[in-house]
Structures are given as structure tokens and as C-alpha cells.
Amino acid sequence: MTLQARNLVPPLTQEGQDSREQMLQQTQAYFEKMASRQASSMSV
């Protein structure tokens, strides 16, 4: 049981850190794009 639970948690490797950072940046870029799109549509 303990071994299985341990395998479910991804190891905190450099790769894991990078992919999480990348996902965060993509999400941030998406929201910024949406915000600017809304702002431009409001000013029209």
C-alpha cells in the first residue's frame, strides 16, 4: 500500500519543476490574452 501511494506522487525532479513552470506560464499567457481581448472589446 505504501509503495503504491508513493508511486502516485511524482518525484520532485528538475523535469517536474520545469513542466509545472511551463504550465503556469501557459496559463498566465492565456489569461492575459483573454483579459486584453475583453479590454479591447469593452473600449469599442
pLDDT at 34 over 80: yes
Question: Which residues, 6+ apart, have CB-to-CB distance to 16 below 8 Å?
Answer: 10
Alpha-carbon distance of 40 to 37, in angstroms, equals 5
What is the residue-averaged pLDDT of the chain? 77
Number of domains in the chain: 1
What predicted TM-score, i.e. pTM, was given to this entire model?
A: 0.51
Alpha-carbon distance of 23 to 1, in angstroms, equals 31
Read off the pLDDT of residues 9-27 as tens digits, 9 standing for 90 and up. 666 666 667 888 888 999 9
pLDDT at 7 over 90: no
| C-alpha torsion 10→12→16→20, nearest 10 | 100
Domain that residue 18 falls in: 5-43
1: cell is 500500500
